Structure 1
């Protein structure tokens, strides 16, 4: 659901656009999260067992609801840290998600619509340049570039895992060298689909075809956001994105409630 509420933020009225998917069991995830739900009644019984507090002492005889979640830090909408790609980046120990400067996760959003490109297409720097030219926009350091592949249409199906175009090393390095530190996509991966990469290995056995966007992180420090949603609700230029990750100690990635701020009116 898109939150269209207008709020005042830093002296400006903005609409809040939810760009995050729920953390939930779904066939779109090869390893879906598992959520164990603790009911209000369960909690009341637990307190009686632990502390001897009878349920009759509680409002309506009930305690607190809760959940126990078992999930990959790369499930749902999340950020990948440089440590995810390799143990080193730029010749030094790669940063984990809790070590990345907070200013990386707030910036002007540039949304590039690549939904016209077929699944499996490898996005090159020239493709990015052409779309930026159409927007009459020049990338400035700190901007966050988001790719709208059209994967929204197949979320909730098994097709999502194998859907969409993706970036390669050259496209990632092109953006990072312009000062972009966070790159996002609404697809399952910033790379081309995993099943396609895996199937190609049997034919080509070419290491350069293997997750070249991710492995670009060995040469340059950068983060990527995967499994975004509602990118079509953002203007191509002019919105702000907030994508602060959960502070997982030593994490290769972490979930994020990504929000777009669109100037009202």
Structure 2
């Protein structure tokens, strides 16, 4: 185990009531500017589909994804709960389902309430005053606005000439800078940096997708947030390298991004097609389900390539 991370909860520069953190870097003008550059003939779905048996965090005690039928065509005939009678229910085939899942399953975004330090989340909101029995009253998934901004692919795996980075490889500041320099791109305020390790190439093999992830070192995480990005994303389960390299914190990247920098984290994003087609810069459109008070929510990010200038 390495040195201490010494991460502290930050006060928001946008005021004591702020719950958006780095998402304040988004603006209508920025959204309009990137949308004006879109090549509408192609799109990339960066999400993964949900299915029973999919890799998730059961090992941490969280429930696996489950889908149950609450109504089926034949069952509706037997139940007749709607009172339509046998003939009516045989004529109208009714199906309905129930989903049960951990909010951090599959492609999802971590809200700022997900991780804190010493009982407080970003902007000093305390668990004592702001955490009820059914979720946080501050920093929940419902306050995350639609994200319409420039996405930038940091394809670290391709830059290092491998299909997938080795287990527990700690991505450095130099790795990030090299990818950007080779692409001729500079991160701008409001961008979403999307880091490719290559892990999603193994999906849905949970034995290869989850555990001992290659990911951002704390130094690289701090460098990226210093560029005024609005959110961070990666194609593995925690964005940061695992296990932790710091003796005082078992997920220092989470604590830095969420509690110290106010930067939401997007995890388990499928970046394989963007990498295959060498799409480095794009318009990103993404919005979570507005689960009030939740520490995270499913997300379906869409990447739209940009027209040649």
Considering the TM-score relative to the shorter chain, is it more than 0.5? yes
Instruction: Select the structure that is richer in strand.
Output: 1
- Tell me, yes or no, if the aligned pair for 1:148 and 1:232 is still in contact at 8 Å: no
Matched, 1:56 2:83: no
Name the count of aligned residue pairs. Answer: 243
Taking the aligned partners of 2:259 and 2:307, their CA distance within structure 1 comes to 40
Q: Determine which of 191, 203, 221 is the counterpart of 2:262.
A: 221
Taking the aligned partners of 2:307 and 2:188, their CA distance within structure 1 comes to 23
Give runs of aligned pairs for residues 133-172 of structure 1, distance below 5 A: 133-157=181-205, 158-162=207-211, 164-172=213-221
Q: Determine which of 56, 74, 81 is the counterpart of 1:29.
A: 56
Matched, 1:173 2:222: yes
Cα distance change on mapping 1:230 and 1:26 into 2, 3 Å? farther
Taking the aligned partners of 1:108 and 1:41, their CA distance within structure 2 comes to 48
Instruction: Classify the secondary structure of the residue corresponding to 1:214.
Output: helix
Give runs of aligned pairs for residues 72-221 of structure 1, distance below 5 A: 72-86=102-116, 87-92=120-125, 95-100=139-144, 102=145, 105-115=147-157, 116=162, 117-157=165-205, 158-162=207-211, 164-193=213-242, 196-197=243-244, 206-208=247-249, 210-216=250-256, 217-221=258-262
Cα deviation for residue 81 of structure 1 reads 0.7
TM-score, normalised on structure 1?
Answer: 0.82
- Tell me, yes or no, if the aligned pair for 2:153 and 2:281 is still in contact at 8 Å: no
Instruction: Classify the secondary structure of the residue corresponding to 2:51.
Output: coil
Instruction: Classify the secondary structure of the residue corresponding to 2:41.
Output: strand
Cα distance change on mapping 1:231 and 1:110 into 2, 3 Å? farther
Deviations 1:64-93 (Å, cap 9, x if unpaired)? 212101001100100001110124214346
Taking the aligned partners of 2:84 and 2:187, their CA distance within structure 1 comes to 61
Taking the aligned partners of 1:43 and 1:78, their CA distance within structure 2 comes to 34
Matched, 1:259 2:307: no
- Tell me, yes or no, if the aligned pair for 1:164 and 1:192 is still in contact at 8 Å: yes
Point out where structure 2 has 5 or more consecutive residues left out of the alignment: 1-34, 59-63, 127-137
Cα deviation for residue 146 of structure 1 reads 0.6
Deviations 1:218-247 (Å, cap 9, x if unpaired)? 211011111111443264433111120000
- Tell me, yes or no, if the aligned pair for 2:112 and 2:295 is still in contact at 8 Å: yes
Matched with 1:5 is none
Taking the aligned partners of 2:170 and 2:50, their CA distance within structure 1 comes to 28
Matched with 2:289 is 246
Aligned-residue Cα RMSD (Å) equals: 2.5
